[in-house]
Amino acid sequence: MSAATTAPPTVSATSAITERPQGRRRPQRPSFWRHRTLYLMALPGIAYFLVFKYAPMGGLVIAFQDYLPFLGIGGSPWVGFDHFVRFFTEDTFLLLLRNTITISLLLLVFAFPVPIILALLLNEVRTRAFKRSVQTVIYLPHFMSWVIVVSIFYVLLSTDGGAVNNIIVEAGGSPVPFLTDPDWLRPMYVFQEIWKGAGWGTIVYLAAMTAVDVQLYEAAELDGAGRMRQTWHITLPAIRPTIIVMFILAIGDFLELGFEHMFLVMNSLNRQVGDIFDTYVYTAGIQNGQLSYAAAVGFFKGLVGLVLVIMANRLAKRFGEEGVY
């Protein structure tokens, strides 16, 4: 299956590196046996992907059935592409597509650059202790679950005694219905994503920055380059491959916003801008029990994600970058 074709490249790539120097000496032994310990080490990882990622994909066939739990996959009637046709012709499809794309774009534009900027700023901090403590403080929110994050914001933003609205009222304004006004949902969503994820995101970029040769900075300084110029001409180009890899990964998640966050901030009053594919799969499949239909929606979402990753990767390669595979 696809399992067999996707799993090996990583393994053979590693073996290819170690293979060469020894390979010349004893070419007659099969490489698999010689690198058996490496394969053994890879085994848990491979097994994990097969069991938890590939095997469950078999369940996708219910998207082409009228799946009834009691009849099982074997006994449920096949309906071909009926569920897909229903999905694409329903009014909700355009609504979901619009909401999902809008929020994804907002995230790409506003949330994606934040960790890069933060990392650049942190990179310029010379006091080690200060840098360390800031780093720790900003990545702590990553370890909070969405339930906690949304609850904190709920307490802060409620109009019935929320701190933020209390301040607004004290200052003479009228309370802002952050939680129920459809216009506030997207800004609030993006802000929460940044608050929770930005600090964690900086780690990757900071790691990439440590790899930059210090001599480059010294040379630039001799040539009279200031802080800004050094950042622009040395740091940024050095982390460009990392940025591009992260960008491709972000593109792959374009329709995959994650169910939990949106589900928690959504209510009757902002549903028309908040309902996305992930929440729709939940309401249609789990709440209303239309398992096949929800599977079809999820299938579509996954396919779009795959296509987007491939496209982004091609594009990156065309511009002479490494890409993710």
Partner 1 sequence: MRKFGRLTVGAASAAVVALTLTACGGGSGGGDDAASDGPITWMSLLHTPTTPDADGPIQTALEEYTGTEFEMRWVPAASVEEKLNAALASGSLADIVNMYPIDSTTVRQALTSGQFWDVEEYLDDFPNLSQIDPQTLESARIDGELYGVPLQKIKARYGVVVRQDWLDNLGLEVPHTIEDLAAVAHAFTHDDPDGNGKNDTTGFIDREESFRVGFRSLTGYFGAGSQFEVTDDGQVVPAFTTDAFKEAMEWYRGVYEDGAVNQEFVTLQKSNQQDAIAQGKGGIVVTGLFEAKNYMALAQNANPETPMEWALVNDITYGDVPRRILTDTTGGMGGWLAFPKSEVKDEAELKNVLGFVDKLIDEEAYGLMTNGIEGTHYELDGDGVVTVTDQAAWEQQVQPYAASRPSEKVVTYNSSTPYVNEANEKMVENEDYVVTNPAQSLTSETFNRQWSTIEQQVNDAYNQYITGQIEMADYEAVIESLRGQGLDQIIEEYTAAYAAANG
Which residues sit at the interface with partner 1, rule CB under 8 A? Answer: 1, 3-4, 7-8, 11-12, 15-16, 23, 30-32, 35, 39, 43, 46-47, 50-51, 54-55, 68-70, 154, 158-160, 177, 179-180, 267-269, 271, 283, 286-289, 291
SS (H, E, C) 121-136: HHHHCCCHHHHHHHHH
Residue 76 CA: distances (Å) to CA of 69, 114, 273, 281: 8, 48, 35, 20
Taking the complex as a whole, the smallest distance from the CB of residue 279 to partner 1 amounts, in Å, to 12
Among residues 252 and 285, whose Cβ is nearest to partner 1? 285
Among residues 202 and 279, whose Cβ is nearest to partner 1? 279
Taking the complex as a whole, the smallest distance from the CB of residue 170 to partner 1 amounts, in Å, to 14
Taking the complex as a whole, the smallest distance from the CB of residue 100 to partner 1 amounts, in Å, to 19
Taking the complex as a whole, the smallest distance from the CB of residue 27 to partner 1 amounts, in Å, to 8
Among residues 123 and 180, whose Cβ is nearest to partner 1? 180
Among residues 57 and 125, whose Cβ is nearest to partner 1? 57
Among residues 54 and 110, whose Cβ is nearest to partner 1? 54
Taking the complex as a whole, the smallest distance from the CB of residue 192 to partner 1 amounts, in Å, to 15
Taking the complex as a whole, the smallest distance from the CB of residue 102 to partner 1 amounts, in Å, to 19
Taking the complex as a whole, the smallest distance from the CB of residue 97 to partner 1 amounts, in Å, to 18
SS (H, E, C) the chain: CHHHHHCHHHHHHHHHHHHHHHHHHCCCCCHHHHCHHHHHHHHHHHHHHHHHHHHHHHHHHHHHECCCCCCHHHHCCECCCHHHHHHHHCHHHHHHHHHHHHHHHHHHHHHCHHHHHHHHHHHHCCCHHHHHHHHHHHHHHHHCCHHHHHHHHHHHHCCCCCHHHHHHHHCCCCCCCCCCCHHHHHHHHHHHHHHHHHHHHHHHHHHHHHCCCHHHHHHHHHCCCCHHHHHHHHHHHHHHHHHHHHHHHHHHCCCCCCHHHHHHHCCCCCHHHHCCHHHHHHHHHHHCCCHHHHHHHHHHHHHHHHHHHHHHHHHHHHCCCCCCC
Among residues 16 and 60, whose Cβ is nearest to partner 1? 16
Among residues 16 and 137, whose Cβ is nearest to partner 1? 16
Partner residues linked to 65 by β-bridges: 78
Among residues 16 and 303, whose Cβ is nearest to partner 1? 16
Taking the complex as a whole, the smallest distance from the CB of residue 182 to partner 1 amounts, in Å, to 8
The Cα 285–Cα 184 span in angstroms is: 28
